[in-house]
Structure 1
Amino acid sequence: MTDNIVELLEQWGAWSRSGLDNLSYKSNMESIMHKAPIVDVTTCRKYRSVAMLNDDDAMRVNEVLIELRDDDVDAYNSVFLRYYIGQKVDYIASNHFTRIKYGKDSKRKVSKHVVYQHLARAEGYLRKALKCEII
């Protein structure tokens, strides 16, 4: 595994999107992903090519993210929307967190800095959980 948590999350996202259906294996994360809302692809960032995680490392990241979901759902949602779905931070703030906090038609908006704070908490959580495993 890499010691760069952002790179690790990008690798996990690539692994998660890599078509697990043809392996006849169903992960916990895959079942969650199939329940995700339909995404407007114009709001998503383009993925850069990243090295794929091996299955064992990716499943360990999955386990930690599921623990994160139970502890801090906003941090988990930020990671999921950013690294799996590929949404931009501005879009996550205005179309996810703003709708939750203020409602769909509100003139008030959640700042993108709130999303960055959620992502930082998630990265710290992942770093702490994997500290013995990160090389």
Structure 2
Amino acid sequence: MLQLPTIQTPPMFGDDTLLRSIDWLGGFPWKQENVVKKEDDKYELVIQVKDYAPEEISVKTADGFVVVEGKHEEKQDNYGYIARQFMRRFQVPEGCRIEGVQSRLTADGLLIISVPRVPVVKKDTVIAVKHEGSTKSKL
């Protein structure tokens, strides 16, 4: 008896479809976990830290990076004990003034870190032409 190979078709509405739709929704404003904005006048980081108290979050600069850390000690909740911590490093692009870093924490748990950019001045530059000894004979 001749057997033909079976071809499996993906289900019309399966886990893959659900996961793809969740990924598609990830770009909407209500899902702001970590956002990096590179604007003309500033470099801005927006990080979701709603699970941390202000005193549990630290922001510092080190070797051209902005380093954000959050940590809270073990706490008891309805299900047992939980401890959380994270550390993120973001490399600051060229042209930014790392000494001007500012951070603020919003009421809804977004940590916003801004690094000002040095304005790029576009102007005409005249380049001097150096004259070297001429090998042409003058008439």
Q: Name whichever structure is richer in strand by fraction.
A: 2
Question: 1 or 2, which has the higher helix percentage?
Answer: 1
Structure with bigger gyration radius: 2
Structure 1 length-normalised TM: 0.21
Answer 1 or 2: higher relative contact order, Cα 8 Å, separation at least 6.
1
